Amino acid sequence: MPPWILINHRDENWGRDVASVPDGATMYVTSGRTRVKAWAPAKLNLFLEVLGRRDDGFHELDTLMLPIGLWDLLTAEPTDDGSIQLHAEWAMPSGRIDSPLLTDRGIGQLPDAEQNLVYRAFELVRKTHCEPRGVSLGAVVRLWKRIPSEAGMGGGSSDAATALMLANRIWNLHLPFAELAQLAAHLGSDVPFFLYSSSCLCRGRGEIVTPVSSCQSLFFVIVKPPLGLSTAKVFQHTEIPRTPNDSGAIINALSNGTVDQVGKRLFNRLQSAAVSQYESIAQLARVFKRLDVVSHQMTGSGSCYFGLCRNAKHARHLAQTLNSKNLGNAFAVQSARVPISRRLCEQPGQN
């Protein structure tokens, strides 16, 4: 099982015809041929505080999210019949991309095509921006998933954000970033974050996104336990703190500090609620406590649990150790370094 995920990007021939996003998250897409391929990263929450419950049933958040090098892959090509066809599958180890997770029984179910956020993203763009212009555009979209579902790694949200970029590209809509961000927030709280490709502070219900600089690559070992967790249920069981923790210190540590300083400030308010739903989270916390990791916690609403490591070798070594303990699938990964400019590319003449 490969502990590291290879990203098969071509570095040359990047077009530069759309560039309308803020703050170091410039998006370039290629023009010309029509089939476009894009990579959708997973994320980890290094800090997550719940500030309060809102009248609309959502929670006010203060969370620091970091894209990591575990990727779903999407391709899209336009049609002129007005229909969206989505073919989604788990990426097979013998296929074009390998997943470190595919030996796990608990990788999760794929939703029916029309419930998939990728389908809903294309439909949303079609309804809001193609129909009003009187154009009947459709798309054939393929999705190869490696990011486990109900894992707190944002797989569905990342796919949705990437689908918005793809729709914008293949239908030549030239929607500005602000418009994509609005559509993203409509699709889900975490979706706007994935329009960026850096660590970000996310507030509101998650949709108010501010990029945060990060002075170094971070290395992690992650365990995906057999079961997933429902985000809604975990939020329901979360106690709202009287005095919330503040994200300022971890943002400073990420921007200017050492790995140890980042590690000291990891925090996730949702973890105790997740433990009440799924005992394996507590077991993972106990196992990680005995390991030589810088720091550790659950990501998002779970169920994945991660340890912050000193370097790639350390992360790979711990993935091996954890895989021998039968707690789920363990793998090593690093913070994603591929900018948005590299997430969309043409894919001439192949699948």
First CA to last CA across the chain, in angstroms? Answer: 25
| Residue in 99, 116, 189, 198 binding ligand C5P, rule: CB under 6 A | 189
At CA 301, angle to CA 164 and CA 277, rounded to 5? 140
Burial 175-199 (b: 16+ CB within 10 A, else e): bebebbbebbbebbbbbbbbbbbbb
How many angstroms separate the CA atoms of 342 and 33, rounded? 17
Stretch 33-52: interaction string toward ligand C5P, x if CB under 6 A: --------------------
206 binds ligand C5P (CB under 6 A): yes
Q: With respect to ligand C5P, which residue has the nearer C-beta, 72 or 190?
A: 190
Catalytic residue among 62, 72, 159, 190: 190
Q: Is 43 a catalytic site residue?
A: yes
Q: Which stretch binds ligand C5P (CB under 6 A): 53-61, 214-222, 269-277, 281-289?
A: 53-61
Catalytic residue among 37, 43, 145, 224: 43
Cα 286 to Cα 44, 152, 233, 298, distances in angstroms: 20, 19, 23, 12
Structural element, H or E, at residue 280: helix 279-290
> In angstroms, what is the minimal distance from the CB of 37 to ligand C5P?
25
Q: Is 233 a catalytic site residue?
A: no
8 A C-beta contact, residue 212 and residue 199: yes
Q: Which stretch binds ligand C5P (CB under 6 A): 69-77, 168-176, 187-195, 302-310?
A: 187-195
Q: Is 304 helix (H, G, I), strand (E, B) or coil?
A: coil
Q: Which stretch binds ligand C5P (CB under 6 A): 66-74, 88-96, 123-131, 188-196?
A: 188-196
56 binds ligand C5P (CB under 6 A): no
Running DSSP on this structure, what letter comes out for residue 335? B
Stretch 225-244: interaction string toward ligand C5P, x if CB under 6 A: ------xx--x---------
Q: With respect to ligand C5P, which residue has the nearer C-beta, 45 or 199?
A: 45
59 binds ligand C5P (CB under 6 A): yes
Q: Which stretch binds ligand C5P (CB under 6 A): 58-66, 95-103, 168-176, 313-321?
A: 58-66
Could you tell me if residue 215 is left (phi over 0), alpha (psi between -120 and 50 degrees) or otherwise beta? Answer: alpha
The residues carrying an active-site annotation are: 43, 190
